[in-house]
């Protein structure tokens, strides 16, 4: 029996999808309106799931307040109300797809989870487009 805790956070960001090695025609063919020059944006949802044992003293895997604080300080503070192409050091030079966001958030959070282990990260770009990274 495996037990996991999920905390949901939200952030609002602008982005533009592009491969700078490609010309306009190729970029529009692949990324469509996501390549529009001045960008667009989303209200993202970020779900972080940690697995572990239930601490008999607290009845918790880890304190959801601590998990939310960690996600807030290490991820949300860097991306909320930001432009993902221009403002975020850990995304510099990357194409900010949901796949790339989820993968980079994993790299940041995985070494920092104070108890238990990181099991899964989900990034919902819209309610219809979702990326999951799982151990």
Residues that bind its own copies (CB under 8 A): 1-10, 12-15, 17, 19, 21, 30-34, 36, 38-43, 49, 54, 57-61, 63-65, 80-83, 85-87, 94-100, 102-103, 106, 126-135
Q: 99 an active-site residue?
A: no
Residue where the block lists tokens 């282990």 = 117
Active site residue 29: no
How far, in Å, CA of 52 to CA of 96, rounded?
Answer: 31
Count CA within 13 A, CB hemisphere, residue 129: 10
Non-local CB neighbours of 12 within 8 Å, separated by 6+ positions: 41, 42, 43, 44, 80, 81
User: Is 9 or 74 the residue whose CB approaches its own copies more closely?
Assistant: 9
Q: Is there a catalytic annotation at residue 15?
A: no
Dihedral sign for Cα atoms in the order 16, 19, 22, 28: negative
Half-sphere exposure of 112 (CA within 13 A, CB side): 16
Between 74 and 131, CB nearer to its own copies: 131
Which position among 29, 40, 73, 81 bears the catalytic label? Answer: 81
> Of 112 and 134, which CB lies nearer to its own copies in the complex structure?
134
Residue with Cβ nearer its own copies (74 or 100): 100
| Distance of closest approach, residue 85 Cβ to its own copies, in angstroms | 8
In angstroms, give the least distance from the CB of 72 to its own copies: 12
Sign for the pseudo-dihedral over CA of 82, 90, 134, 68 = negative
Positions annotated as catalytic residues are: 34, 81, 125
């Amino acid at each position: 029996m495996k037990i996991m805790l999920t905390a949901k956070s939200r952030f609002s960001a602008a982005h533009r999808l592009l491969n700078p090695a490609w010309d306009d025609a190729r970029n529009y063919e692949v990324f469509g309106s996501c390549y529009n020059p001045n960008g667009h944006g989303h209200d993202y949802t970020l779900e972080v799931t940690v697995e572990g044992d239930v601490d008999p003293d607290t009845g918790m895997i880890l304190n959801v307040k601590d998990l939310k604080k960690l996600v807030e300080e290490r991820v949300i503070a860097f991306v909320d109300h930001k432009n993902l192409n221009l403002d975020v050091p850990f995304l510099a030079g990357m194409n900010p797809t949901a796949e790339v966001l989820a993968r980079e958030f994993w790299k940041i959070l995985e070494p920092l989870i104070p108890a238990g282990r990181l099991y899964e990260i989900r990034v919902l770009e819209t309610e219809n487009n979702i990326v999951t990274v799982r151990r």
